[in-house]
Amino acid sequence: MSFSIRLNAQEKALAESYARLHSLSLGEAFKQALFERIEDEYDITIADEALDEYINDGKKSKPISALWEELQL
Query: In 10 A of CB 19, how many CB atoms?
Result: 18
DSSP 3: -
CB 23 within 8 A of CB 14: no
Mean pLDDT across the stretch 21-40?
97
Render pLDDT for 35-61 as a digit per residue (tens, 0 to 9): 999 999 999 999 999 999 989 988 877
User: Which is more confident, 23 or 3?
Assistant: 23
pTM for the structure as a whole: 0.68
Per-residue pLDDT at 2: 87
pLDDT at residue 65 tops 80: yes
DSSP letter for each residue of 12-70: HHHHHHHHHHTT--HHHHHHHHHHHHHHHHHHHHHHHHHHHHHHHTTS----HHHHHHH
Domains of the chain, residue spans:
9-70
pLDDT band at 11 (very low <50, low <70, confident <90, very high): very high
Residue 61: CA atoms inside 13 Å, Cβ hemisphere, count?
9
